[in-house]
Structure 1
């Protein structure tokens, strides 16, 4: 029989009616995190554009095509493939490019080629192709040419907010509880999400998106802990990994709404309202039993146990005192000594030996490539050619089976034998893009989605794998430092996506090469399937090198505390 707080799942069920209702209600709001993380794909979309033309245009030339209106050329115009030539009613001839325009001097015949003198000017304003993008922040605030960097800065600043939010609200959830943080971040997501739509200038837009990122990240970090503390160890792998599946649903919602709504502020409002029903019932969420017991709030814990028993159709016979077995039994002196030992530990202990240093470096690399690959494939899916809305939808859709297969494989074949092949598959798929002819867009999309599918498997299981690779005394530190590398990857990802301006498949190639190398390194990690959690650095270092004969029971409470980092 399991002892401690974990016993409640043996008594009240690992995933019965109460936990199921709470789980699906909590991860419903996680959909909004996927929405806001990827919303910038269409918020900052840049349509075709040219310098603002002179008034009274009578004729338009592009290559060997002639038109009477500038609006007619957009279906034929390709950025960077020559200027558009216009003639006014006064006879002036202008060459219009995206960032420059030139007045032809002493032009006689109206033809596309001109070898005479020109008077070049910078653009005072711009004209945009509104057939695909009716209105985005780029068209509203002219974030093109010398102001293009401002548009490209929006996603990195958002990801910086993600990093800060994870640090802030992860700590706050340990101090004041999971429930208050979930409620506060959900409410702020709604407020900031709507406010973003009514910002009147670029700088306020970036600030509000930054704040939105902090609360979205905060919710995603805390809901992961929340659902793991309400589900038993028999289903915890599945429930924790499928929080990511809710995030993937958010990506699909972005693709759908982006296809239907082409005005950015309406698009932003609809995305925010899509998960607003969560606010109607989140105040009914209980605090987790682990947190209540850890803080000594035994009366509330007993009420929660009785409620769980009632809703799960079981008699309310479980008492708080039953959950205290095995807890709080250690003499105070020993607790103080343990705390003193833990305080002396630092990140350097993860690199205390050559074997542990290699293990830590590889784990960090997996965290980094998991996040980098995830966001490169998601954000960059719209650059692959074909229909950008279908591409983004597929980028979210391939995640759902990846988590199902990942959960099955990691419990059947092992953590290492799932993670390493997934990274190698992702790497090979991405590198094969090199040999794909540029006009065969479907094959490039298939390879990119295969890469996203494989990277998602590795990204989903690294949380649990890291917990099992390190001993109790530095487990939280290991997961926390890995999470930091994950955030670094998410900040770097937008800059990697912008390399598509050099070559459309360059971001996928970079991710593929890194994933393949890290996949090879992962093969040198020890297997942890079926192994008990280690308690000391010596036991952890011995993983994979000799049988661990210590009869240690897996402490699921330690696992939860580690994941909270």
Structure 2
């Protein structure tokens, strides 16, 4: 794990901006907010990092798979009224043709039946009455919770309430657990999340009450979201600086590509929703094993001044990486003593609250990041999959292949040229794909519209990968979980807003139906361009740059500029090389040669 001094937290969060600029100053802004010495200096790099990578991948995989089966959707299956008990002797086909009203367009009613069956070949002479129970012509997804509790017709509002409650799990619980992670540590939050995830997923499979099902789903999705964020943060804080972006990208890309395939494969064999939920919950057993083997974040322990616990965590990780304990203790003692800047006077910072996200020199970057999460989720969850249900089903496996290619590209793009430029480009591609889908739907080009919809889905997934890396990187260690959680909460609010966008499209006249999604497409482009152009505090960032350069630290590989090298040289001349990396290890420690 990487270690970090906590001089810079008070400087970055507590001070007011003195000047702002944009353009060239972005090179100073887009870097790591709490850059640390390379982990190889403290306890080595090897099996421990690979364990955390596997932990993050399994956690994100479980989160994606659980979300896909948990969010109830009104599928395009056929359903009609079930015959009352007095007509139970009639066959299904006979009841369908004699008891179900037929509309002028040839379709049959889903929500009403004749009070008494009509004689075949004659005109109906009885009034229509609402259905009490339904028959379902099940699709490939099998028997779901929609059929279990008849969430159709006049009961469809229960379906919408259930989806809203599920989303509230992320809105309500994730920020609270993010704050707890920054105050009490990553590991306690991981233990609690795994316990809640496994318990709620198992109990939900055997519930017979809709209210209990929804309540357990609330806890399940909340714990999935917390696990997804916390494991990404722990991985980021425990890997070498030069490979942090690659590790996080790999942790997100692999499960994002495989989870939809696993979900669909399970759906082919599981004809009951309970069986499907158990199959999706099975990978969570791995989390119980892996969470026991992981340690606390060394970055967070040192930032909080918990040096004894930091030593225990470093020795545990060093044992997995086959490092000598004495060497690890010496390295850790040399670092926690403060080096030439600290001289043993490392002060424990105060406990930041959510107010820290809205103050300090980086508040504009934080605002822009929150807006990007919000607009991205609006665009992603307002995609009209229900309008092209049958056609999108035919493109399902094509979409999986395109998604796999997109995730593979995201990883290698991050590895080759960083994340920030691709983040802006992919977001603009998202906005363009949504706009193209709107235009094609106007001209009723259904096949091309489905292709545009599939491509939009892939672009949104790619943007999610880059946005996760950006979000976990911009926040200091002592508020990283809180910042990431608040960003995720903004995304969840965007998903709820997407439901309102779809409702507006149904209510508006035909000439204005495209307006809501058109505005959301424009908002996506504006927010991500704003993230690129948002002003930052040059004076404050330059001061932090000198402090980090004196410790031999490295800025983000995506955003190194000529001024960075100049500041590093000046700092080396001023403070000397007592705390610099050993000769010949510049590449390992992530410090460019100067």
Q: Sort the TM-score into its range (normalised by shorter chain).
A: 0.7 to 0.9
Aligned twin of 1:205: 213
Task: Report what 2:194 is aligned to.
Answer: 186
Residue 420 of structure 1 contacts residue 520 of structure 1 at CA under 8 Å; is this kept in 2? no
- Please point out which of 369, 378, 384 is paired with 1:372: 378
Measure how far apart 1:268 and its partner are: 1.1
For 1:321, the equivalent position in structure 2 comes to 333
State which of 153, 159, 169 in structure 2 corresponds to 1:161.
Answer: 169
Superposed CA RMSD in Å reads 4.7
Deviations for 1:53-104, whole angstroms, at most 9, x for unmatched residues?
35278799xxxxxx65749999xx99995454xxxxxxxxxxxx21122358
Provide the secondary structure at the position in 1 that maps to 2:296: coil
Work out the CA distance in 2 between the residues paired with 1:277 and 1:141: 32
Q: Return the offset for 1:253.
A: 2.1
Q: Counterparts of 1:446-525 in structure 2 under 5 Å?
A: 446-465=451-470, 481-496=486-501, 510-511=516-517, 513-520=519-526, 522-525=528-531
Greater relative contact order, per chain length (Cα 8 Å cut-off, separation 6+): 2
Change (3 A) 1:391 1:42: farther
8 Å CA contact retained: 2:99, 2:116: no
Mapped pair 1:301 → 2:313: no
Could you tell me whether the CA contact under 8 Å between 1:15 and 1:231 is conserved in 2? yes
What is the match of residue 145 of structure 1? Answer: 153
Alignment pair present for 1:445 and 2:459: no
Number of corresponding residues = 513
Between structures 1 and 2, the one with greater helix share: 2
For 1:225-240, list aligned pairs within 5 A: 225-240=233-248
* Range with greater deviation from structure 2 (456-465 or 147-156): 456-465
Higher mean C-alpha deviation, range 195-204 or range 451-460 = 451-460
The answer to whether the 8 A contact 1:252-1:392 is kept is no
Q: Does 1:551 align with 2:567?
A: yes
| Preserved contact between residue 111 and residue 153 of structure 2 (Cα < 8 Å) | yes
Q: 1:561: which partner in 2?
A: none
Deviation at 1:308, TM superposition (A): 3.7
* Post-superposition CA distance 1:430-451 (Å, at most 9, x none): 2222344698654333211221
Retained in 1: the 8 A contact 2:72–2:163? no
Show the counterpart of 2:581: none
Partner of 2:422: 418
Q: In the TM superposition, what whole-angstrom CA distance separates every residue of 1:373-415 from its partner, at most 9, and x where no partner exists?
A: 34445xx646533476676666666555445534554676676
In structure 1, what is the equivalent of residue 550 of structure 2?
A: none
User: Runs of 5+ in structure 1 lacking a partner?
Assistant: 61-66, 85-96, 554-565
Distance (Å, rounded) in 1 between the aligned partners of 2:470 and 2:140:
44
For the residue of structure 2 that corresponds to 1:536, the secondary structure is helix
Quickly say closer, same or farther: Cα 1:141–1:334, change in 2 above 3 A: closer
Determine the C-alpha separation between the residues in 1 that align with 2:237 and 2:394.
Answer: 36
Deviations 1:24-51 (A, max 9, x none): 1342132111122111356764632112
Separation in structure 2 between the aligned mates of residue 253 and residue 476 of structure 1, nearest angstrom: 29
Distance 1:390 1:154, change over 3 A: farther
Cα pair distance change 1:525/1:216, threshold 3 Å: closer
Residue 20 in structure 1 maps to residue 40 in structure 2: no
Closer, same or farther: CA 205–466 of 1 in aligned 2, 3 Å: closer
Conservation of the 8 A alpha-carbon contact between 2:142 and 2:267: no
Which residue matches 1:102?
Answer: 114
**Aligned 8 A contact 1:422 1:454 in 2:** yes
Residue 121 of structure 1 is matched in structure 2 by 129
Q: Secondary structure at the match of 2:231?
A: helix
**1:7 & 1:472 partners in 2: Cα distance?**
13
Counterpart-to-counterpart distance in 2, 1:227 and 1:126: 49
Return the TM-score normalized by structure 2: 0.71
Any residues of structure 2 matched to 1:50-449 within 5 Å, and which?
50-53=80-83, 55=87, 68=94, 70=96, 81-82=105-106, 84=108, 97-103=109-115, 110=121, 114=123, 118-130=126-138, 132=140, 134-248=142-256, 249-316=258-325, 317-319=327-329, 320-326=332-338, 349=359, 362-376=368-382, 381=385, 384-386=388-390, 398-406=402-410, 408-409=412-413, 417-436=421-440, 441-449=446-454
Q: Is the 8 A contact 1:156 1:495 kept in 2?
A: no
SS at the partner of 1:213? helix
Separation of aligned partners in 2, 1:237 and 1:78: 59
Shift of 1:462: 3.0
Once the 2 structures are TM-superposed, how far is the Cα of residue 290 of structure 1 from its aligned partner?
2.1
- 1:562 corresponds in structure 2 to none
- The SS at the match of 1:101 is strand
Which residue of structure 2 aligns with residue 37 of structure 1?
67
- Deviation track 1:292-312 (CA, whole Å, cap 9, x = no partner) reads 334555455334434444443
Residue in 1 that maps onto 2:587:
none
What SS class does the counterpart of residue 151 from structure 2 fall into? Answer: coil
What are the Cα deviations for residues 197-243 of structure 1, in whole angstroms up to 9, with x where unaligned? 11111111111111112221221121121111211111111222333
SS in 2 for 1:128: strand
Q: In 2 relative to 1, CA 256–42 (structure 1 residues): closer, same or farther, beyond 3 Å?
A: farther
Q: Take 2:111 and 2:177, find their aligned partners in 1: how far apart are those partners?
A: 44
Query: Quick check: 397-406 or 468-477, which moved more?
Result: 468-477
Moved more, 362-371 or 231-240: 362-371
1:440-499 alpha-carbon deviations (Å, 9 max, x no partner): 654333211221222233333234546777899998886665444223113334555667
Asked if 1 retains the 8 angstrom alpha-carbon contact of 2:375 and 2:523, the reply is: no
Please tell me whether the aligned partners of residues 163 and 487 of structure 1 are also in contact (alpha carbons under 8 angstroms): yes
- Matched position secondary structure for 1:384: helix
